[in-house]
A = this chain, B = another copy of it.
């Protein structure tokens, strides 16, 4: 079994109250691949420029991730994003976005990438997502991300691709924006009617929620005393979640399996925010991960017992 991700590979300049980086490896596909590769063989599809070095490519190729579909555009520069976070990290201000090689990106998938069992369409223009989705006819599980920009400027295209995937992973407020529903439960149910069987609402520092036809599941973010840089947390979460699903293709995609995938995504995301960009996850080892899942389970567990109530 294998897993293909299509999305941005980037250089980020990030400033948080705890420090800054002028230029670090980033991008949705990068964060996703670093997390997902703990679970399965990953193929990364995305463009980079001449400025993308061997060192960055080596990080992208961690745990055997296939980078042969990383397209190097001669004479081009890698996608660049600069942003600054507020005091409590809640608000992110974009200072600069240079699409560079991403402006003319036309995803070309090799047979290995096309034949993947699982596909993740990271946040790119929805028509591109649809094109990739159509190339991967054999995928048994296709998940996608998006953003407010596409909801506001390319809604028809976005709805078309949402209708063709199994799982939408999106920020809670974007799910509400997409549907116009006044709360997340109603909004997620509307997305389920648009096609996907699974909706995952990312809630930032508050965690994530899973919606299927019959059930809900809510998991908090893993509590940390040190949060340095949230950049890429959502994509790292998605990498853990989708990677877990990809690695369990021999089992039916039950609610229980999806919930465990949510827990692993949460654990992976918690490592990501402990340092800038990919720094922490790039040196994360497999033995560090299960402990956080176990702790997460302990921190959300309570015993139900009959209680005498007054009436």
Q: Mark A8-41, 1 if CB is under 8 A from B, else 0.
A: 0000000001100000000000000000011110
The smallest C-beta distance from A47 to any residue of chain B, in angstroms, reads: 26
Range of interface residues on chain A? 35 or more
Q: Is the CB of A297 within 8 A of B307?
A: no
**Interface residue ranges of A203-248 to B (CB < 8 Å):** 203, 205-207, 209, 215-220, 223-225, 227, 244, 247
Given contacts A182-B87, A289-B309, A310-B38, contact A216 B223 (CB under 8 A): yes
A308 at the interface (CB under 8 A from B): yes
B176, B302, B307: the one within 8 Å of A219 (CB) = B302
In the complex, chain B residues whose CB is within 8 Å of the CB of A64: 310
B17, B218, B220, B310: the one within 8 Å of A299 (CB) = B218
A306 at the interface (CB under 8 A from B): yes
**Interface residue ranges of A233-268 to B (CB < 8 Å):** 244, 247, 256, 259-260, 262-264
**Interface residue ranges of A46-95 to B (CB < 8 Å):** 63-64, 87-89
A97 at the interface (CB under 8 A from B): no
A153 at the interface (CB under 8 A from B): no
A110 at the interface (CB under 8 A from B): no
Complex Cα distance, B303 from A262, in Å, reads 11
Q: Is the CB of B285 within 8 A of A306?
A: no
Q: Is the CB of A302 within 8 A of B217?
A: yes
Complex Cα distance, B287 from A229, in Å, reads 46
Complex Cα distance, B183 from A290, in Å, reads 24
A104 at the interface (CB under 8 A from B): no
- A227 — nearest CB in chain B belongs to which residue? B183
Given contacts A88-B176, A220-B209, contact A293 B285 (CB under 8 A): no
The smallest C-beta distance from A281 to any residue of chain B, in angstroms, reads: 13
Q: Is the CB of A263 within 8 A of B304?
A: yes
B186, B260, B309: the one within 8 Å of A302 (CB) = B260
A152 at the interface (CB under 8 A from B): no
B17, B18, B173, B218: the one within 8 Å of A223 (CB) = B218
Interface contacts beyond A185-B225, A216-B299: sample of 10 additional A-B pairs, CB < 8 Å, sorted by A: A39-B310, A87-B182, A183-B225, A184-B223, A189-B225, A215-B299, A217-B300, A220-B220, A256-B302, A285-B311
**16 interchain pairs (CB within 8 A)?**
A18-B182, A37-B310, A38-B309, A39-B310, A87-B182, A88-B183, A183-B225, A184-B223, A185-B223, A185-B225, A207-B218, A215-B299, A217-B300, A217-B302, A263-B304, A294-B304
